[in-house]
Structure 1
Amino acid sequence: MAHSTPLGDIVRAHRRTAGWSQERLAEESGLSVGTVRNIEQRGHARLETLSKVAAAFGLTTTELFASGAPLPVGEDSQNRQLLAHFRQALMPPVGIGPEPLTDPGEPEALPVVRRRIEDANQLYYAHRYDSAARMLPGLLRSAEAALVAAGDGEDRQEAVLVRADALFLAGKYLTQVRQYDLAYQAHTASIRLGRESGNMLTAATGVIGLCWLLLRQDRFDECEHLAATTAEAIEPKLSTASRGQLAAWGELHLRVAAAAIRNNRPDEAKEARRMAATAAAAIGVEHTDHRSHFACFGPVTAELKVVEDLALAGDHRAVLRRADDGLLSQSAMRKIGKPAENDYNRHRLDVAQAHVKLGSTQDAMDELVRIRTTAGEWIKHQPMARYIMEDILRTRKRTLTKEMREMAAYLDAHA
């Protein structure tokens, strides 16, 4: 008798309600019978696979999610030790009295703390994650000390914004390395400080970071709603808005679209992509200004996300057709500007996946090698890269090359 799992039970119940056999579900979803059987028996699947099953039933993806006891967690003393300073900075002990139980230390001048935030941001974008991890906890404590020491008026206003920016950067880094509970603490604190200061751009930037975290956790309904309501609240007048305001508004619509497309809501995703394209067109170039808006946003970034939708829909030929064409061509990027490296590398993973699905394993390997060469630490934190490598291992008909074996070991990928 098949082992019962929460996800398997839900899929099986929907299939039986529809009066379908496993073969019929496989046909309707475009999956193999073996994949359907594996979902029902083992109770897990990649998100893209689960989305196809949900679409076959006419459901959103999240309607197939099931609650259940989490899988046993192995001993993880190394990560506990590596993250101890982050926890001290973000999650200090709280007692029954009003006084804080930890001393933030001597405050530094706000311009000094601001420069340290900019230095840490450069480390993050250079994929120097070890260096960023060593710097960020102390930076968070310095920003807290500066806020505690600030008086009223402009000094306090600037201290609040400095602390919010430090928290946002920490949240972004922690989301990247998949330390989600810590990242949530950082982002929500950043949003609250933005609200306290009355700086809606700072608060909205924190929301953008939190939405990315929600996407990473497959919390699509919450992500879409949070991004949409925030975009509505800060909607700028296109003729007078600053580039930072337009970028934040456009980024929020990218988050709406990303959540909607993953949740089998293509109409909502299409409309959100249209709004993001409107903001990008109003800016006209790729805009990066970490003092006003931490992300890079513009026409190229918006186009990358359109191609990502094609990848999620399984239209791999269209991905390859558009990957280096139009706004994504090298000539266009020389004119308009390049997107953030992380966004571009995520796009190239879509390209690598398309090559694998269409049988071009060596082309996929070329993409993985290029990304590893330019962003080795980044790619190690991308499950999609591991999935692509595992697909290469399964589908490669000839003997694996040395390069493939080394990449599999680097990504901890197994056939």
Structure 2
Amino acid sequence: MDELPIGRRVAYWRGRRKMSQQVFADRLGKSKSWVDKVERGVRRLDKFSVVYDIADVLQVDVQLLLGKEVERKPETQNCIDQVEVEEIRAALERYDQMSAFFQAVPHSPPIAEMRKAVSHAWLTYQHAKYGALARALPKLLRDAQAADSAHANSDEAPAAAHLLGQVYQIASSALRKVGEHELSWLAADRSIAVSQRAGDQLLAGLASYRVGSALLALGRVRPSLEVNVNIANRLAPGPERARGEQLSVYGMLLLNGAMSAARIGDSATVRDLLSGAEQASIELGGDFNHYWTSFGPTNVQLHRCATAVELGDGRLAVEAHERMNKEGFNAMLPERRAHHYLDIARGYTQIGDVERAGEMLLEGDRLAPSEIRCRPLAHEVLSDVLRRTRGTPPAPIAELAEQMGVGV
């Protein structure tokens, strides 16, 4: 995008922010005609003060509008910044599979090497190292796409497709964390098609889980509920003892469906889906990380809390949190635990206990800073805590707010 005129860049980012020309003009204090002329290149932007105003309204770094390399600030090193999002987008926009029909793929990493890289990316995500993951994802996407294309007609085709399906899912999950929901949906949707080529129903089921998560983040709640429940029904264990992997993917689809049902206030469906997931976790016999799901009894407990928060019942969420199996919780990976602390912080705000809400945010930040500092939802919760705190906020909360750039 560096070669585009500045007006085109303004139009691009305005579109990304889903602003009409009129809304954008109103926020700038300009006319719609002025905006239209700027975007078409008829009117020049020759005042830096105006460029800075535009960057502020669009919430982008001014260097992006000027077509220059953005200097990464120290505090963004552990998050996914705008430059990295655009690099991931560019990798998703590649269609190497089509090119492979016409000419040989020039380079493809060995499958064994790709397998190690994908496993490392999963662990990076589950330890909430989002900045490191974002810097690795563009190359990982390109390599996985190249491997998938290079092995399309070989015995390694299913393995290569499986790895690419996983990479799309990692990208989808990471992008959803930082609010890039449309891009998250695209990556998840890609994973469904690739997973089918891999011939793995469970990987396809987990791709459906990612689609459901992206749809929920986009506010498409009923489609999210439907895709989770429909695919869970297809993967439901039969009379014979199911594999641990099948129980894990099935259980996660039910838990995701419960979150969707909670969003629309359907408490009966929430109870049914949580009950089904709990039964699957009992049959599984413990907490496991099959297919990178972290599914088991503890994750079911976490979702009991999370669905209560979505239903607006903060007290029930807090009570469930206090009854939680601490040993199982402490054994979970950092992303899951920090995510839970964010959910419980929301629960405490619902019952008016902003002091405890702040403590939960601090716990999450100590455990996995990126899960708190990089997520728009955490910024909203912290802003709410600050606004409702009487007097001066505690020093640790004030320091966290300063580091996150959150004001009252």
Q: TM-score interval w.r.t. the shorter chain?
A: 0.7 to 0.9
Q: Does 1:313 align with 2:297?
A: no
Contact 1:238 1:282 in 2 (8 A): no
Q: Does 1:389 align with 2:388?
A: no
The residue matched to 1:287 in structure 2 has which SS? coil
Rounded to whole Å, the distance in 1 between the matches of 2:340 and 2:99 is 48
> Match for 2:326: what amino acid?
Q
Q: 2: CA distance between counterparts of 1:168 and 1:318?
A: 32
Q: 2:360 pairs with 341, 346, 367, which one?
A: 367
Taking the aligned partners of 1:102 and 1:135, their CA distance within structure 2 comes to: 27
1:81 is matched with which residue? 83
Shift of residue 92 of structure 1?
2.5
Q: CA deviation at 1:101?
A: 9.7
User: 1:256 deviation in Å?
Assistant: 1.3
Q: Which runs of 5+ in 2 are unaligned?
A: 1-17, 25-56, 65-69, 71-80
Structure 2 counterpart of 1:207 = 208
| Alpha-carbon distance between aligned partners in 1 of 2:152 and 2:306, rounded to the nearest angstrom | 47
> What's the offset of the Cα at 1:100?
7.4
**Partner residue of 1:5?**
none
State the distance in 1 between where 2:353 and 2:208 align.
Answer: 39
Taking a change above 3 Å as real, the CA distance of residues 350 and 132 of structure 1, as seen in their structure-2 partners, is closer
Distance across 2 between alignment mates of 1:301 and 1:232: 20
Of the structure 1 ranges 81-90 and 139-148, higher mean CA displacement relative to structure 2 is found in 81-90
1:223 CA displacement: 0.2
Tell me if the contact between 1:254 and 1:276 (Cα under 8 Å) persists in the aligned partners.
yes
Q: CA deviation at 1:206?
A: 0.7
Question: Aligned runs of 1:171-250 on 2, under 5 Å?
Answer: 171-237=172-238, 239-250=240-251
| One of 394, 397, 400 as aligned partner of 2:393 | 400
Q: 1:231 to 1:356 in 2, by over 3 A?
A: closer
**1:324 Cα deviation from its structure 2 partner:** 2.7
Tell me if structure 2 keeps the 8 A contact 1:174–1:182. yes
Q: Which amino acid aligns with 2:233?
A: E
1:227–1:355 distance in 2 versus 1, CA, 3 Å: closer
Structure 2 distance, partners of 1:299, 1:110, is 34
Displacement of 1:345: 2.1
Say if 2:185 and 2:211, in contact at 8 Å, map to a contact too: yes
Please give the residue correspondences for 1:212-361 in structure 2 after superposition, counting only pairs within 5 Å: 212-237=213-238, 239-289=240-290, 293-325=291-323, 328-331=324-327, 333=329, 338-361=331-354
Query: Sequence identity, in percent?
Result: 21
SS in 2 for 1:113: helix
Residue pair 2:341, 2:363 contacting (<8 A) in 1 also: no
Measure, in 1, the Cα distance between the counterparts of 2:274 and 2:104.
46
Alpha-carbon offset, residue 238 of structure 1: 5.8
In 1, distance between residues paired with 2:116 and 2:237? Answer: 29
Paired residues of 1:247 and 1:297 also in contact (CA < 8 A): yes
Distance 1:362 1:161, change over 3 A: same
Q: Is there any run of 5+ residues in structure 1 with no aligned partner, and where?
A: 1-66
Q: 1:378 aligns with which of 356, 366, 371?
A: 371
Amino acid in the other structure paired with 2:263: R
- The one-letter code matched in structure 2 to 1:225 is E
The code of the aligned residue for 1:83 comes to V
Could you report, residue by residue, the CA deviation over 1:55-76 in whole angstroms, capped at 9, with x for unpaired residues? xxxxxxxxxxxx9969646163
Instruction: Tell me: CA distance 1:167–1:333, structure 2 relative to 1, closer, same or farther (3 Å).
Output: closer
What one-letter code is carried by the residue in structure 2 that aligns with 1:91? E
After TM superposition, give the deviation of residue 104 of structure 1 in Å.
Answer: 5.8
Matched-pair contact (CA < 8 Å) for 1:205–1:294: no
Alpha-carbon separation, structure 2, partners of 1:373 and 1:181 = 30
The separation in 1 between residues aligned to 2:400 and 2:275, in whole angstroms, is: 38
Change (3 A) 1:104 1:381: farther
Q: Within 2, Cα distance between the matches of 1:370 and 1:110?
A: 39
Q: CA separation in 2, counterparts of 1:308 and 1:86? A: 29
Deviation at 1:198, TM superposition (A): 2.4
Q: How many matched pairs?
A: 340
Q: d(CA) in 1 for partners of 2:105 and 2:322?
A: 49
Kindly report which structure 2 residues correspond to 1:165-176, keeping only aligned pairs within 5 A, or say none: 165-176=166-177
Label 1:69 to 1:85 Cα distance change in 2 as closer, same or farther (>3 A): closer
Between the aligned partners of 1:405 and 1:161, the Cα distance in structure 2 is 45
Moved more, 309-318 or 140-149: 309-318
Q: Equivalent residue of 2:306, what SS?
A: helix
Deviations 1:352-391 (CA, angstroms, capped at 9, x unpaired) = 2333444433322222112111211111233332233222
- Say whether the 8 Å CA contact 2:209–2:228 is kept in structure 1: yes
Structure 1: which 4+ aligned runs deviate by more than 6 Å? Answer: 97-103
Q: Contact 2:339–2:364 (CA<8 Å) still a contact in 1?
A: no
Q: Is the 8 A contact 1:105 1:141 kept in 2?
A: no
Please tell me the residue identity of whatever aligns with 2:370: E
